[in-house]
Amino acid sequence: MDTPGSEGEVSAELGRLRASIDNLDAALVHLLAERFARTQQVGELKARHGLPPADPDREAEQIARLRRLASQSHLDPEFAEKFLVFIVTEVVRHHEALTRQPD
Amino acid sequence: MDTPGSEGEVSAELGRLRASIDNLDAALVHLLAERFARTQQVGELKARHGLPPADPDREAEQIARLRRLASQSHLDPEFAEKFLVFIVTEVVRHHEALTRQPD
């Protein structure tokens, strides 16, 4: 692959890459919105039936699965695991708020 | 919407929601892999041309845009911002490693 040379070429290439990243981020936000709607439902279901918000077994399975998927996609499995832990931490924080203040 | 009653119904509903969450997580991992490939290219381009790995102006624009998209998707804008900061922090960590050890 050619290496862009002049300042204008570098700037154009950076612009193209950033446009792709922006598209991917929009898709990620929409998927996160959908995921969050589903975990809200899980949280409400658990709160109604007195189930604990966190589930370490389920979380361990999710981590193992996402690490496998990440490896297949040439994504650093550590990154995928950190990502899931980040998401789950946020979700549990919301679930705990729900449990404290059932609507 | 009906509230599931018996333990079996609750368990079935939880299983359905978790299957959706697993599908969404697989999609998220694949999009993250694609995003990461693009930011690797950005990092390599910047490293080759002596540009700094972090770009606070670009990051501020990304945060403002993702917060708008999140609001439109009924996702907590704070969550979207934390998500982007998490991703960008990871990416900058990788870029800095590239800058220290150019290949």
DSSP state of A52: -
Residue B63: what pLDDT?
93
The Cα of A101 is separated from the nearest Cα of chain B by a number of Å equal to: 18
With CA atoms as reference, report the closest residue to A84 among A72, A100, A68, A96.
A68
Q: How far apart are CA A85 and CA A55, in angstroms?
A: 13
pLDDT in tens, B12-40: 999 999 999 999 999 999 999 999 999 99
pLDDT range class, residue A102, cuts 50, 70, 90: very low
For residues B47 and B99, is the Cβ–Cβ distance under 8 A? yes
pLDDT range class, residue B91, cuts 50, 70, 90: confident
Q: Which of B29, B81, B82 to mutate to test the interface with A (most CBs of A within 10 A)?
A: B29
Kindly state the average pLDDT of the residues A35-48. 92
Provide the ipTM: 0.85
Beta carbons of B17 and A41 less than 8 Å apart: yes
Residue A49: what pLDDT?
94
For residue A47, pLDDT over 80 is answered with yes
Residue B103: what pLDDT?
44
Residue A45: what pLDDT?
94
Residue B29: what pLDDT?
95
The Cα of B56 is separated from the nearest Cα of chain A by a number of Å equal to: 14
With CA atoms as reference, report the closest residue to B27 among A85, A83, A94, A57.
A83
| Average pLDDT value over all residues in chain B | 87
pLDDT in tens, A51-99: 988 888 998 999 999 999 999 999 999 999 999 999 888 877 776 666 6
